[in-house]
Amino acid sequence: MDETPVHETIYNQPFIRQRADPYILRCEDGTYYFTASVPEYDRIMLRRADTLSGLREAEEKTIWVKHMSGPQSIHIWAPELHRIDGHWYIYYAGGDVDDVWEIRPYVLRCAGEDPISDPWEELGPMQPADDDPFSFRAFSLDATVFPHRGGWYMVWAEKVGVGKQISNLYIAKMSSPNKLGTVQVLLTTPDYGWERGDFWVNEAPAVLRHDGKIFLTFSANTTGELYCMGMLWIREGEDLLDPGNWTKLRQPVFRSDPEKEVHGPGHNSFVKAEDGVTDLCVYHARQYDRMAGNPLYDPNRHVYIMPVTFDSEGFPVFRHLPQEW
């Protein structure tokens, strides 16, 4: 029995530096994969290790680079690695150097069994359902996918509005790894003050299951000190496409902790610890709150890891724990 701790992270110490929108996947055999946005926003990289902490020093392999022009040529963001029906897929977002905010979700599929060494093929932009004239028509990103009752669902962020826009989260059932099978359903829009800074934002959905409930965390507000995590939840047995089944918490579940120098935490994902049981929340944050220039181009969003505990009603708690756990 391996006696190493779940990981050796101290909650307010970066686990990996200068990687944002972190995503970690644990395979059944215990292998871990890590991917994230790099500060240059120009490529997709993967790391692999036999242990979680091994990801820190693991070699970083670039498995795809941005195009020279046109779609996917700038702002390559928030990749996620998923295993669907026996193939590896990466979901990510990208813009166009000639129209840098024309961000859309794209899909890669690995041509082989080894996501590090085998080639990746472009499946192009994520496709909406045939009868959906709304999805992926505007600034859209942060697509995540998850299996549920024999099918796969996608949740993504997309902006609406004329002039200044609002970023909402939508859900749909998928008909294939690169196409939706149902029209979009609005899950959450920035309803509360904590979601509404200079920009009104809901983005970065992540799914966590526990004891009969599905939790959907998301990130809210402007990138910077106000950035924080909110949450929706639904019971496992309910129709995920009926927004009336989802409940949104009125308060954020995780936000800046200036005393501990954790600033603007968010864009999280979830992964099991090495024990295969403990849920970990992987997120990024900064160690300072003041930046010169656009926070988007400040490279110092670092990866942090926090264990998730559950309260007496089975709801996840994203609270800073003692430094050793």
Pull the structure tokens for residue 27. 């395979």
Least separation, in Å, of the C-beta of 243 and a second copy? Answer: 5
- Read off the tokens for 173: 């059932």
238 classed as catalytic: no
Is 186 an interacting residue with respect to a second copy (CB under 8 A)?
Answer: yes
Catalytic member of 142, 203, 225, 298: 203
What φ, ψ does residue 53 adopt, rounded to 5°?
-65, -25
Instruction: Specify the stretch interacting with a second copy by CB under 8 A; choose among 72-80, 111-119, 132-140, 172-180.
Output: 132-140
Give the whole-angstrom CA distance, residue 275 versus residue 315: 21
Selected from 150, 212, 237, 244, the binder of a second copy by CB under 8 A is: 244
HEC string of 90-142 equals: EEEEEEECCEEEEEEEEEEEECCCCCCCCCEEEEEECECCCCCCCCCCCCEEE
Q: Does 138 engage in binding with a second copy (CB under 8 A)?
A: yes
Cβ at position 165, least distance to a second copy in Å:
8
Instruction: Give me the torsion for CA of 72, 146, 250, 19, rounded to 10°.
Output: -50
Nearer to a second copy among residue 245 and residue 287 (C-beta): 245
Based on the residue annotation, tell me whether 21 is a catalytic residue of this protein: yes
207 sits near a second copy (criterion: CB under 8 A) = no
250 part of the interface to a second copy, by CB under 8 A: yes
Least spacing, CB of residue 135 vs a second copy, in Å:
10
The whole-angstrom distance between residue 122's C-alpha and the CA centroid of its chain comes to 20
Region of 65-73, 74-82, 178-186, 304-312 interacting with a second copy (CB under 8 A):
178-186
Using alpha carbons, list the distances in angstroms from residue 309 to 205, 293, 321. Answer: 19, 37, 10
Tokens representing residue 50 in the block: 């036999």
- Residues with a catalytic annotation lie at 21, 203
Rule CB under 8 A: which residues touch a second copy? 133-134, 137-138, 160-164, 166, 183, 185-186, 189, 191-192, 196, 200, 242-244, 247-248, 250
